[in-house]
Amino acid sequence: MSERRVLNQWRAIEQSLPADWGNARLKLEVADAAQAARAASLLAPANATRRGTTLWIYVSKLGDGAVPDLVTRLFARLDAEAIDGRLELAGATEKPKAGPAAASQRSAAGLVVQWEAAVAELPEDWSDLWVELELGSSDYLDRGALLLAPVNPSRAGKRLAFRFRVARRFGYGASGEMTHRCLERLDGERVSGQVRVLRSLSDTKPVYTQGPVWYVGGRAV
């Protein structure tokens, strides 16, 4: 792998994103296991995840992950220690659009359809998810909380949204099947909204733990 400054690659990626981007998922391939371990340590404040010599970094302008300024500082530290790597954009989403027209467009597809489409885009070995359901109306808050109770949802601040964890095989979070059933119940009562996968991990293997922990806004989720 030829030497490439990670910070310069990030700046090029950031400039290529649309002005209204909200979240971005980055993939960093480093030269060897030793550099991967050191890179994971330096990128820990951004909650980077590692698998072999590949690291994943979730960047957000919406408060759901590491802010761009933090990522910029951390990539500068990689360059300072001459950590060689290839940084790629694995995916990006736009900021949610306001207004009734945007809300209607988001909720045009049923929640189950959105969930199945989101899961289909994940890596085959996904194991843990942090999911958000943004409701189409405040009228759905109470009923939505009741129907989502089996997945242990939490409110996303003052927004009309719930967040919850999904675990594929074991650990923290509802199963994918339970998530599907809860969304079916919401569809059955014509509760509209938008389902998003905010964060994902692949092939986790907890040792003496219930599973991985994400930190969002300084709080474990």
Whether residue 77 lies inside any domain: the answer is yes
Q: Which residues are bridge partners to 134 per DSSP?
A: 161, 194
Domain harbouring 185, CATH code: 3.30.70
Report the SS3 class of residue 74.
helix
Tally of domains in the chain: 2
Whether residue 184 lies inside any domain: the answer is yes
pTM over 0.75: no
Whether residue 218 lies inside any domain: the answer is no
Has residue 1 got a pLDDT over 50?
A: no
Whether residue 219 lies inside any domain: the answer is no
Task: Kindly report, residue by residue over 147-181, the tens digit of the pLDDT.
Answer: 999 999 999 888 899 999 998 877 778 889 999 99
- 105 and 191 part of one domain: yes
Q: Which residues are bridge partners to 129 per DSSP?
A: 166, 200
Which pLDDT score is estimated for 78? 95
* Residue range 23-46: mean pLDDT, rounded: 90
- 74 and 111 part of one domain: no
Whether residue 221 lies inside any domain: the answer is no
- 72 and 104 part of one domain: no
Single-letter residue type at 76: A
Whether residue 216 lies inside any domain: the answer is no
Whether residue 211 lies inside any domain: the answer is no
- Give me the domain span that covers residue 11: 6-94
Q: Quick one: tokens of 146?
A: 């009741």
Q: Quick one: tokens of 40?
A: 């994971």
CA-based nearest residue to 81, from 111, 27, 43, 132 = 43
- 156 and 137 part of one domain: yes
Whether residue 79 lies inside any domain: the answer is yes
CA-based nearest residue to 47, from 57, 37, 62 = 57
- 109 and 87 part of one domain: no
- 63 and 111 part of one domain: no
Rounded CA-CA distance 65/67 in Å is: 6
Q: Are 202 and 123 in contact (CB under 8 A)?
A: yes
